[in-house]
Amino acid sequence: MTEAILLTIKLAGITTLILLLIGSPLAWWLAHNRTWYKEIINAMVALPLVLPPTVLGFYLLLAMSPQNAFGGFLKDNFDITLPFTFEGLVIGSVIYSLPFVVQPIRNAFEAIGQAPMEVAATLRASPLDRFLTVALPLARPGFLSGAVLGFAHTVGEFGVVLMIGGNLPGETKVLSIAIYDHVESLEWTEAHILSGGMLVSSFLLIFLMILIEKRWGRLN
């Protein structure tokens, strides 16, 4: 039980960090770019919101398979096999939770508007300086909300992690899979403990996000 909890926290933490790193520039691009294909990229980012997790997991499993181009390239050149590994879970979790991080950050960037950036430009701040010293601090609530949502969503994954990782103790058996195992084995007490813990932690994370948004709203 403890092993599954620690593995889930590790997966959610690594996934959230990666999502913040890749989601920030993507959210900035979506917020400010005016190219015709922007909405196509936006739809691709948002696809996990409506796509059944098992479908996403199935196609990711196929893509990672050594019998296909991407998985075969990794296997032949780097001797890396992703299916049924923790690394494979991280990749699947990043793709599955991407819209939950990108969208709040994008909304925060759009709420800033152009005026602060234009003022910084008149002070001869470079584009990178404007992004780091103006946009990022002003978009802080979006980053906090995105981090909370990304972490919570990753903790609650089931379909994607089951398809990609299976049920390997200590490697891919996260909390949601452990709960499923306990229910399947009629171990109701263990299932109640884990499910109740996830229910309480999810509530606290959402409550934290609400407090962050309300506090930022008062500051502005």
Q: Please report, in tens digits, the pLDDT of each residue of the chain (220 residues total).
A: 688 889 999 999 999 999 999 999 999 999 888 888 888 999 999 999 999 999 999 999 999 998 888 888 888 888 888 899 999 999 999 999 999 999 999 998 888 877 777 777 777 777 778 777 788 888 888 898 899 999 999 998 898 999 998 888 888 899 999 999 989 888 999 899 999 988 898 888 888 778 776 766 554 5
Determine the longest span between alpha carbons in the chain, in angstroms.
67
Q: Which pLDDT score is estimated for 81?
A: 87
User: Which residue, 91, 98, 89, is CA-closest to 176?
Assistant: 89
What does the alpha-carbon distance between residue 172 and residue 5 come to, in Å, rounded to a whole number? 11
| CA of residue 215 relative to chain centroid, distance | 24
Q: Which pLDDT value is given to residue 208?
A: 79
Rounded alpha-carbon distances, angstroms, from residue 189 to 22, 142, 183: 40, 38, 9
The Cβ of residue 155 has, within 10 Å, a number of other Cβ atoms equal to 24
CA dist., res. 33 & res. 6, Å (int) = 40
Give the pLDDT score at 217.
55
User: Is the pTM above the cut of 0.75?
Assistant: yes
